[in-house]
Amino acid sequence: GAVVSQHPSRVICKSGTSVKIECRSLDFQATTMFWYRQFPKQSLMLMATSNEGSKATYEQGVEKDKFLINHASLTLSTLTVTSAHPEDSSFYICSARQLQGSIHEQYFGPGTRLTVT
């Protein structure tokens, strides 16, 4: 089956620093990747849609200058949280859609738990 990995799985950073999270599709090419954020005991909230070779599309209320997304290849998208603050502490999950797959098939990564101290 299609596998999506994320790195790192956990990260702790100090307030004001930046942290980069990688999302990779391991055995398929992904035209589109999605980034979600999930706070404890809450649902997944879509942050942005990332298409290979083009600018990401951000959901309303998500600061594009704070959450930088790069989708440089068909197997890699990165999310950089810039100038992180404690309120950015959350579980970040990416998902990917296959280049040749069915539209409704979306594969999720294992998530990255970010803690900002």
- Partnered with residue 12 across adjacent β-strands are 115
Count CB neighbours of 53 within 10 A. 9
User: Is residue 62 a contact point for another protein (CB under 8 A)?
Assistant: no
User: Is residue 56 a contact point for another protein (CB under 8 A)?
Assistant: no
In the complex, minimum distance from the CB of residue 36 to another protein, in angstroms, rounded to a whole number: 8
Question: 15, 17, 26, 46: which one contacts another protein (CB under 8 A)?
Answer: 46
User: Is residue 50 a contact point for another protein (CB under 8 A)?
Assistant: no
Question: 11, 44, 68, 76: which one contacts another protein (CB under 8 A)?
Answer: 44
Distance of CA 105 to the CA centre of its chain: 17
Separation CA 114–CA 32 (nearest Å): 23
Separation CA 9–CA 18 (nearest Å): 16
Question: 97, 98, 114, 116: which one contacts another protein (CB under 8 A)?
Answer: 97
Three-state SS for 88?
Answer: helix
Three-state SS for 39?
Answer: coil
Question: Which of 7, 113 has the CB closer to another protein?
Answer: 113
User: Is residue 108 a contact point for another protein (CB under 8 A)?
Assistant: yes
In the complex, minimum distance from the CB of residue 76 to another protein, in angstroms, rounded to a whole number: 18
